[in-house]
């Protein structure tokens, strides 16, 4: 423990932590980080009142019903916070998984449509080549027919 830390009484450190949490300056990560700095702050940062404030600020909808029943032991509010935090994290992960699945489904659908379009394009390309080939044959036949007529006319005028 540092010398400056030992000069302040627990009440002041407790008040500093409460102010930090109440003004939204401290989050749960901050409180956990402070708790590993020394034994005294570890003890103070595990107090129910601090975790109750975090619980009510981070989980406002569900903290009022369960906080009164779980305030019997010193670490119960911290444990309740941890449980709610884990539950909230699992919900967020589930939402993200659903979003990823939805996007993957959209990718599969778009890939199917692209393959469909590519198939139609290949069919149209084949039809175009066939048409060009037929047109080329028709031109050749016309040319041959015209040459044949020209030859016949030459023969006729002679």
Q: What is the pTM of this model?
A: 0.56
Q: Give the confidence band of 140 by pLDDT, cuts at 50, 70, 90.
A: confident
CB-count burial class (<10 Å; 0-12, 13-18, 19+) for 81: buried
* Residue in this structure with the two tokens 């906080």, named with its chain if needed: 67
77 or 158, which is more confident? 77
Mean pLDDT of the chain: 84
Q: Which of 32-36, 71-75, 113-117 has the lowest mean pLDDT?
A: 71-75
Name residues whose C-beta falls within 8 Å of residue 10's C-beta, 6 or more positions apart in sequence. 40, 44
Q: Is the pLDDT of residue 1 over 60?
A: no
- CA nearest to 80, candidates 67, 98, 99: 67
Element holding 19 (H helix, E strand): helix 10-22
For the record, the structure tokens of 103 come out as 């996007």
Q: Is the pLDDT of residue 90 over 60?
A: yes
């Amino acid at each position: 423990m540092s010398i400056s830390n030992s000069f302040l009484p627990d009440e002041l450190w407790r008040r500093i932590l409460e102010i930090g949490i109440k003004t939204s300056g401290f989050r749960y990560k901050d409180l956990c980080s402070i708790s590993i700095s020394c034994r005294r702050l570890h003890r103070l940062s595990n107090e129910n009142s601090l975790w109750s404030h975090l619980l009510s600020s981070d989980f406002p909808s569900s903290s009022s019903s369960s906080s009164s029943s779980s305030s019997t032991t010193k670490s119960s509010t911290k444990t309740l916070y941890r449980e709610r935090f884990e539950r909230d994290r699992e919900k967020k992960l589930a939402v993200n998984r659903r979003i990823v699945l939805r996007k993957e489904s959209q990718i599969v659908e778009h890939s199917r449509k692209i393959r469909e379009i590519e198939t139609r394009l290949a069919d149209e390309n084949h039809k175009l080549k066939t048409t060009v080939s037929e047109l080329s044959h028709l031109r050749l036949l016309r040319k041959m027919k015209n040459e044949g007529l020209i030859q016949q006319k030459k023969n006729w005028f002679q």
